[in-house]
Structure formats: structure tokens, C-alpha cells
Chain A
Amino acid sequence: ETGVTQSPTHLIKTRGQQVTLRCSSQSGHNTVSWYQQALGQGPQFIFQYYREEENGRGNFPPRFSGLQFPNYSSELNVNALELDDSALYLCASSFGTGGYYGYTFGSGTRLTVV
């Protein structure tokens, strides 16, 4: 059983650029959630995708957007990057949308905006 894989592992971008982060779900999981973890903070919920539709969104601006594909993999896109977007971005997959099912997290993508 493969876990959640994220790519790339590290990324450096310039302010104003756009970035796409990728996530492959664990086998059998149909829901993907994205979290942002700033340095010294806990992960913060960005949004969740279920059946290729956004199913809940945290307090993040519209320049954060996502996609889920038929194979349940997912992308996180961030436009007009700002310095404060520098963080670890975590993808988590689960089966179903209830919190009781628990997540499997990937190792994350470390994004640095300069």
C-alpha cells in the first residue's frame, strides 16, 4: 500500500510568480486536503477536495486554488506569490469526508518565496 506522495519536496520561487504543487493520494482514498504549515505553527486548513469538487475551504484568499483528478490525485496552485506564502505545504488523503476517518499525510513541499 503506497502512502501519500508529494512533489516537489523543495521549491524556491520569486514574489509574484505562480506555483503548482502535486499530491498523489494513498491507495483507496478518495478525499484530499491541503494544509499550510508556517514556521513554528501548526498546519492550517486550506481546502479539501472530494469527488473532484471543492468541499470546504479555510481562510485563504482565492489566489489559492486546487484541482482533484479522477484518480484522486490533486494539485494546489498559488498565484501572485507573496513572501508570507513561504511555508511547508502538506497534503493529506482520507476515505470519506468525516473527520473520524483520519488522514494520511505526505511529507510536504517546502516552498520558499524570495
Chain B
Amino acid sequence: DGGITQSPKYLFRKEGQNVTLSCEQNLNHDAMYWYRQDPGQGLRLIYYSQIVNDFQKGDIAEGYSVSREKKESFPLTVTSAQKNPTAFYLCASRTWDGLYGYTFGSGTRLTVV
């Protein structure tokens, strides 16, 4: 079945560490997105990519980095510069025309220990 796979489901990070969250899709979607979800704040856009080797900052990009070397993959690195990284992270993708909205992965819960 086609879909988006996020891994790991749970991730623990020590202070000062960089961690990378994986997002892989086999839907042949062109665009991919990373969102951060905190209680009561809805979804906030971190980065998005509309084509391979190109990506743009979203509303809260500071302390995060991404790459898009393959159409299927859009990993997110949470760097030590992100001061409050504990959150639920969601990856999404869409078709070229966006008429069907986004397809979401099942999320990664990151906790700083």
C-alpha cells in the first residue's frame, strides 16, 4: 500500500544533541512538508519542499534543517540550536495539483531528556 512512513515513532534526545527524523513516501508525490504540533497550537510549518534538491523555510525553521536528495525522502534534523524541541512532528506530502490535500505520516514524538 502507498503511504508515508515516519520513523522512529518515539525518539529521545539529550541536551546538545542533533537528531534526525525520517520521512519516506511511496506515493510519487512531488511536495513534502514537515510540521510541528504542540498542544493547543495546532500545526506549525517547519520546512517544505516542492521538488528534489529544493526546499523553503516555513514559519518556525530556526533550529531545524532538511534535505531533499530523493523524491521519496525528506529527513528533518533537529539541531542543538532548537531550544525547545519536545513536540510531535508530522510529515506530509501532496500530489502535484494539491487537489486532494495532504497525506500525513503517523508522526514522531521527540522528547528531550
A, B bound: no
B positions within 8 Å CB-CB of A: none
